[in-house]
Amino acid sequence: MSVQPMLHYFPLAHRPSSDSAKRMAYWQWGDPAAKHLVVCVHGLTRQGRDFDVLSQAILDKASTRGESARVICVDIIGRGMSDWLDDPMGYAVPLYAQDMIAFLTVLHAEQPYSRLDWVGTSMGGLIGMGVLGGFGMGEVALPVAVNRLVLNDVGPTIEWSSLVRLAQFIGRHAPNVGIFENEQQGADAIWKTSSSFGPHSPEAWLALSRHQLKKCADGKYTFAYDPAIAQLFKMASRESTTAGEAFLWQLYEDITAETLITRGLEGDLLSITTAASMCERGKKMPVPARLVEFAGVGHAPTFVAKDQHDVVVEFLMD
């Protein structure tokens, strides 16, 4: 049975100065009291409604087994329904990881869960690696260790050419200025820079794109993210990216969760060489990481197609 998520907000009280008054939005699916919690975190310019189809598939699988599950899909700060920061320097992966650790800690205190799984697409996967390692939080750790981890089209080594490509279109719009006459026009524009997501029916693409847009005061639509998120991203250099690889590999080596790596076969951000290395490393994992690739898809699989979300659901609900 199809359901709709409930929108909630989490105050970022742990952040310093004016950022502490900001709120991170999250979409909750399923039973709020379920002991099995799946957290889904999106890519750089995206938002939590990207996981609508996957969330529904998880709940359907749980229902067929007579079980319950709770799926939470966040809008990382600056995206979707979340607030925008006053200082764009706050748009950084280590700080997102801190946000998520604080969020999951409060969530557990309010409604305890005993199993925690993580699905992270691109940036969401990097945040997940940081969260699992207590990234930026000193001795603070998650209240429940992540049991299963999905890294969707991302790894410790990120291809520089892909970052250059992404930087060409991120944050080029003016804030809160309508540029599309309607949602369909916006969806068509998004397709021009996101066709690497792979084949989608027109209906599925509009459904995926609708939450990527927001209505402005003039009745037109614009992108549902703060263009200032591009500032730190575009400050990265080939040298700084390469220097950060060793640290990311260290985080990866410390992962204790069973891990699934998904990759678009035509993708350019996670190379097949890096993906293969990820299957060989991660010695603290209970079993070696497993790699699944999807033909006809680049960066990144959306888990809308049945063959894609079936792989993830079976991994999480096995």
- Domains annotated on the chain, with CATH: 6-164+238-317 (3.40.50.1820), 172-224 (no CATH)
3-state secondary structure of 37: strand
Place of tokens 């209970």: 286
Q: Look at the pTM and tell me if it is higher than 0.85.
A: yes
Q: How far is it, in rounded angstroms, from Cα 242 to Cα 199?
A: 32
Q: How far is it, in rounded angstroms, from Cα 311 to Cα 120?
A: 14
Per-residue pLDDT of the chain (318 residues; tens, 9 = 90+): 567 899 999 999 999 888 889 999 999 999 999 999 999 999 999 999 999 999 999 999 999 999 999 999 999 999 999 999 999 999 999 999 999 999 999 999 999 999 999 999 999 999 999 999 765 444 457 899 999 999 999 999 998 888 888 888 898 899 999 999 999 999 999 999 999 999 999 999 999 999 999 999 999 999 999 999 999 888 888 888 888 899 999 999 999 999 999 999 999 999 999 999 999 999 999 999 999 999 999 999 999 999 999 999 999 998
Give 278: exposed, middle or buried? Use CB within 10 Å, 0-12, 13-18, 19+.
buried
Instruction: Give the CA count within 13 Å in the CB-facing half-sphere of 20.
Output: 5
